[in-house]
Chains A and B, each alone.
Chain A
Amino acid sequence: MTTTFTNARLIDPETGAETRGSLTVRDGVIAGRDLAPEGEVIDCAGKCLAPGIVDIGVKIGEPGERHKESFRTAGAAAAAGGVTTMVTRPDTTPAIDTPETLQFVTRRARELTPVRIHTMAALTKGRAGHEMVEIGFLMDAGAVAFTDCDRVIADTKVFSRALTYARSLGALVIAHPQEPGLSNGAAVTSGKFATLRGLPAVSPMAERMGLERDLALVEMTGARYHADNLSAAVSLGPLERAKAAGLDVTAGINIHHLTLNELDVGDYRTFFKLKPPLRSEDDRLAMVEAVASGLIDIISSMHTPQDEETKRLPFEEAASGAVALETLLPAAMRLVHAGAVDLPTLWRALSTNPARRFGLPGGSLADGAPADLVLFDPDAPFVLNRFKLRSKSKNTPFDEARMEGKVLGTWVGGERVFGP
């Protein structure tokens, strides 16, 4: 099967170039640019054609919380959001910590989602931070990385052994750095706003402490490490030094910390309750700059579905997290429209870098790369209505927000999974 995308604005994150032209897809892979049109011809009308988004921190409620999100609804949301590869989180109930649960999830995923899906496994059993999982067996079963997600492995000895063992297998370990004692019970970032609202708060310094500990362990063990969900400007110094020292370290951030700040919580709006909490505007700007400079490698949705019951509570008691598969692209376009990054740079963080770091296909417009593509209008304005989201849970902080950037079509392996 052959498709030719004509009259496209091609966003190539690998070369950093934006060019006008056409792209031909044959048998699920990219065949070349500006060839004579053949097969189905899709006129892109000058809109952007880019590699599909590779989203590395997606929570799906299977097993355990299917009322919040299923593979079917997440898959539909991903396709509509221009996400062609989802890497799912293991913080399910129970945690994905054995090859058997991993296989269950993989089977469900393949049956029900139109986009590519890969699975991360927990690093310790039950994400309890005591015993490491069967890293080897889990890799054989297809685990692409290991993480206890927002639970920090507080026991440094346990974590250092897990890192050492992971290194011997070349496994990628992901952590959400945080000093667990200091951040315990916090609902917002400490500062004037937290004081005004009377909410328990944590200093962003807790993130730096967690990161510095992890980086020391990485230096000690030589493990492959990705610090995800960073949010604080004070974390950037240690990160830069670790990279300069040649450690095998990358870093990620979720879209909300790039587009929102602590004041958005306003009058105790729980859809803005995230973990780590939203930071100051100074932090946000520093993080945007770090994405532009490449110090932060990967932007993800950190898609975390929560039902109305767990969000309709007093702020301190409400659950953390936000859905973002469908809003990732328009939210990220805010950075482009603000002049902070250009499209190829943004797409490096959304697509190329995560694909490379996880060793996945995608993130490329080169000949022979899989035809995972998103066609979008970067300027199309709309007002988000959360009840129209395809996710089962509607907990987006962008409800009723004015956004720009609409996905017009999504293709996975050359097959259209979303669009007219």
Chain B
Amino acid sequence: MSFRHRHLLGIEPLHPTEITTILDLADRYADLNRSALKRANALEGLTQINMFFEASTRTQASFEIAGKRLGADVMNMAMQASSIKKGETLIDTAMTLNAMHPDLLVVRHPSSGAVNLLADKVNCAVLNAGDGRHEHPTQALLDALTIRREKGRLHRLTIAICGDIAHSRVARSNLILLGKMENRVRLVGPPTLMPSQIDQFGVEVFDDMRAGLEGADVVMMLRLQRERMDGGFIPSEREYYHRFGLDAEKLSYAKDDAIVMHPGPMNRGVEIDGTLADDINRSVIQEQVEMGVAVRMAAMDLLARNLRAARTDKGVMA
């Protein structure tokens, strides 16, 4: 078993065996989470601070539960982006927190790279809970775990990621992870919502949803932000739903046993048909949420082990 990182800032620096290490451990935590006594002590005595500079309910709750189940002292700091006028307060806040000796810092920030910047300045392990359009590593890991459990493997699958790729950190982390694990990744969406030179990432790009879903094992939908719908990137919500919204008809082009995923929160009737999202035979959206807790437990456990090892090396009491 190997995982040699001080922080979890993105999928990009991870080796495929490290991804497998996280997922294997997460599988065990998934079992624990289904048992009656949901308690382990991997983070006993450690302090975990969740710093969210961007509103989040689901991810923050998931990290909080994950930390508590592993015995950490968890503190949530709601740092609304509006109260942080200048980035220097980002550094200042980090330095202030650092002085309180946290062990795990979970950070979400609206600017790409902000979590990397912060990780440079603190002595603890930092987990990226989403930075701008850059990465959202635990989301990609929980998606990977869900796929692996549903499909029995995480390689040689055809996976279609659909929607607003350009503004999505979920899409970035996912396409990097799925590519590293040797899957066939397709990106489906209007060209205005595709990042530049995305074809250089070893993916296939489609602007026709039916062609993109043809024979897919996994259909991964992304959330379309409301502010993108006003004619700047796409003409209208209804035209988007008509061309790129997932419904039973479009899904019929995928494999019969294809699963439907969504990172949430969903815009029913915009990117996904409401009935389809609730169809327990196709949709694994609830399982994604469940795996989110397990994956975050695994990631924090592994980072805490490295943290304790580094401190022992330095002669500090772990």
Contacts and interface: CB of A to CB of B under 8 A. Distances in A.
Nearest to A201: B196
Nearest to A193: B197
A314 interface: yes
B197 A267 contact: no
A66 to B, nearest CB: 20
Contacts of B196: 190-192, 194-195, 201, 203
B20 interface: no
A197 interface: yes
Contacts of A196: 12, 172, 201
Interface in A193-212: 194-199, 201, 203
Contact of B91 (A195, A197, A312, A315): A312
A314 B172 contact: no
B42 to A, nearest CB: 29
A314 B87 contact: yes
A314 B53 CA distance: 13
Contact of A268 (B86, B88, B112, B172): B112
Contact of B197 (A192, A313, A314, A316): A192
Contact of A316 (B86, B112, B169, B172): B112
A27 B116 CA distance: 57
A38 interface: no
Interface string B126-141: 0000011111000000
A240 interface: no
Nearest to B109: A314
Interface string B191-218: 0000111101100000000000000000
Contacts of B134: 197-199
A318 B198 CA distance: 26
Contact residues on B (Cβ < 8 Å of other chain), bracket:
20 to 34
B86 A313 contact: yes
Contact of A267 (B109, B116, B135): B116
Interface in A298-352: 309, 312-318
Contact of A197 (B86, B87, B112): B112
A195 B195 contact: yes
Nearest to A267: B116
A192 B195 CA distance: 8
Nearest to B113: A268
B172 A313 contact: no
Contact residues on A (Cβ < 8 Å of other chain), bracket:
20 to 34
Given A190-B196, A195-B198, A314 B112 contact: yes
Contacts of A190: 196-197
Contacts of B76: none
Contacts of A201: 196
A89 to B, nearest CB: 25
Contacts of B88: 309, 312-313
A195 B112 contact: no
A352 to B, nearest CB: 39
A192 B116 contact: no
Nearest to A194: B196
Contact of A199 (B87, B112, B201): B112
Given A191-B197, A194-B195, A316-B111, A268 B87 contact: no
Given A314-B90, A317-B111, A198 B116 contact: no
A290 B201 CA distance: 31
B318 interface: no
Contacts of A197: 112-113, 134
26 contacts: A190-B196, A191-B196, A191-B197, A192-B196, A192-B200, A194-B195, A196-B12, A196-B201, A197-B112, A197-B113, A198-B131, A198-B132, A199-B132, A199-B134, A267-B113, A267-B116, A268-B117, A312-B87, A313-B86, A313-B88, A314-B111, A314-B113, A315-B111, A315-B112, A317-B87, A318-B87
Across the A-B interface, the 9 shortest Cβ-Cβ residue pairs? A268-B113, A313-B87, A198-B133, A314-B111, A198-B134, A195-B195, A190-B196, A314-B114, A198-B112
Interface of B: 12, 86-88, 90-91, 109, 111-114, 116-117, 131-135, 169, 172, 195-198, 200-201
Given A198-B135, A314-B109, 16 more contacts: A191-B196, A192-B196, A194-B195, A195-B195, A195-B198, A196-B201, A198-B133, A198-B134, A199-B133, A199-B134, A268-B112, A268-B113, A313-B117, A314-B113, A314-B132, A317-B87
